[in-house]
Amino acid sequence: MHGLVWNARGLGQLRKKKFLQDTIRDRWLSFVGIQETKKVDFQLEWLNSLTGHDLFIWHWIPSIGQSSGILLGVSECMYEIGECEKGDYHIRMLLHDKCSGFKCNLVVVYGAPHYKDKAKKLVELVQVLGCNSFPFMLGGDKGIRHSKWSNLFNGIIEHWALQELDLYGRSFTWSNNQEDPLFEKLDRILVSSGWISTHPLATVIALNRRVSDHNSLLVTYGLSANYVRS
């Protein structure tokens, strides 16, 4: 199984829609998490045009201004959705894998763009992690560069024993695309011990940056331990 997490920097351009269509269909994605959609609302017809014959369940947080908005879609063929929770900076779905029976929380987060909102985002993240007992996969743009907030974010990761899935293809996930470019690793996939014990071969592949300054992250599950035992 595969999934995609991507800071799209807006979904208004046709080339970005085409990229999503091709990636979802060619790679048989089971979930898609998009940050910075820059869209207040979505039409179901538009969303269904992304996935073709595979029906997805979609939830989103509307964009406020020009630097926010989250869209999360999950294959109805692959998963049952136990519940969905939305905050200011995240969407969480409780997924039940129809093949393996594995239950986990899929969380897509987007970093608060303004310095004054960083604390709110971290508090929200702590609440999500602290109030749910099933394993976690958490993906997105952490949006934290200042050392103070970065240290607090790392403390949260350590407290809940989250680990980052290995990234292949590139060392960084963002570039300013200038003649003298800057490169940073802003996007990542974090998982809990319960998640990685079920998907021990899972990895992340950084796809190219053709249509955004962020690389999209392709999550490959590998072979589930549940399937191995059976």
Q: Per the structure block, which two tokens stand in for 168?
A: 């292949």
Comparing 114 with 205, which gets the higher pLDDT? 205
Count of residues making up the chain: 230
Q: What is the pLDDT of residue 144?
A: 53
Residue 83 has pLDDT above 50, yes or no: yes
Summarize the confidence of residues 174-178 as an average pLDDT.
Answer: 80
Q: Side chain identity at 146, as an amino acid letter?
A: H
**Whose structure tokens read 């999550």?**
219
Q: What is the pLDDT of residues 209-223, one digit of tens each?
A: 778 888 899 999 875
Comparing 89 with 178, which gets the higher pLDDT? 89
Q: What is the pLDDT of residue 177?
A: 77
Instruction: For residue 175, give its domain range.
Output: 2-229
Summarize the confidence of residues 178-194 as an average pLDDT.
Answer: 89
Looking at residue 93, which CATH number applies to its domain?
A: 3.60.10.10
Comparing 5 with 185, which gets the higher pLDDT? 5
Q: What is the pLDDT of residues 140-172, one digit of tens each?
A: 986 555 556 678 888 899 999 999 999 988 888
Q: What is the pLDDT of residues 1-33, one digit of tens each?
A: 799 999 998 898 999 999 999 999 999 999 999
DSSP tag of 63: -
Domain count within the chain: 1
* Secondary structure element (H or E) that encloses residue 70, with its range: strand 70-75
Cα 112 from chain centre: 15
- What is each CA distance from 156 to 127, 138, 163, in whole angstroms? 11, 13, 11
- What is each CA distance from 25 to 30, 75, 103, in whole angstroms? 10, 12, 24
**Whose structure tokens read 């589930």?**
224
